[in-house]
Amino acid sequence: MNNIASAILSLFHSFIPMRQLLPTLVFTLLLTTTGWAQTLDTILYQSESLTIKQISPNGYVHISYLHATNFGKVPCNGLVYANQQEAIIFDTPMEDSISAELIDWVENNLSATVKAIVINHFHTDCLGGLAEFHHRNIPSYANNLTIELAKHKPVFPQYGFDDSLRLAMGQAEVINRFLGEAHTIDNIVSYIPEDNLLFGGCMVKEVGAGEGNLEDANVAEWPTTIQKIKQTYPSLKVIIPGHGQIGGTELLDYTVELFEEK
């Protein structure tokens, strides 16, 4: 990153009033001085267990790690979106202690109150750290089918929906929607019109990824569900997969190609 971009980023994350007033301006300056791909790799916070990067004017990806027998150490993406001192988090980190680390970062660095946690599907890489959110009286939301599938776990989401759920944070909103089966039968997507940003979770693959865990997948329906995302949200700019590099609509195209019948 060049000196100009570094100075801008330092100011942005050192002065809370400036961050609250000028997030879009600062992010735009970063784009012009560093380039889009490089900005996506700007690390704002990093510990042994948690990494946080800014990906849009008000969006931040949180990354924690799943130690899987078949896949090794797997980075797992979640999202934080903040607007006017209110934030919603999408998917928990892997453990409660890391959830505490993330919530503390949001409160201390974004000066935002976490209003909700939204769970993408019933796997542990989406809700492994959910108890910490409940401990802090942060309500949790998920597809009703996710709640049903997760009821065998020690902690599961509190409030459900069938087709879609809109939640507000400040003057922005997120549309959480079930568009069909793919990685799991309950997986949803979360769309934020303010930034044309989509948290796709594990149904969306980074470019170059393999098929991954298919234990609970509907491979036959997977391409159709991804096509529904493209049709429902034609103006997408930023897409966050469940694992790996963030990108644009090329992630959707790649995922369709990966799973469509040859």
Q: Which residues are catalytic?
A: 121, 123, 125, 183, 202, 205, 213, 243
Closest Cα partner for 48 from 93, 80, 113? 93
Q: Which of 162, 166, 53 is nearest to 115 (CA)?
A: 166
Nearest-5° Cα angle at 134, 119 to 47: 75
Q: For 21-82, give the DSSP string.
A: H-HHHHHHHHHHHH-HHHHHT-EEEE-SS-EEEE-SSSEEEEEEEEEETTTEEEEEEEEEEE
Q: Which residues contact 261 (CB under 8 A, 6 or more apart)?
A: none
Which among 112, 50, 109 is positioned nearest to 78, based on CA atoms? 50
Give me Rg for the CA atoms of the chain: 17
DSSP type of residue 258: H
Residues 6+ apart with CB under 8 A from 71: 212, 213
Q: Taking CA 193 as the corner, what is the angle to CA 189 and CA 198, rounded to the nearest 5 degrees?
A: 30
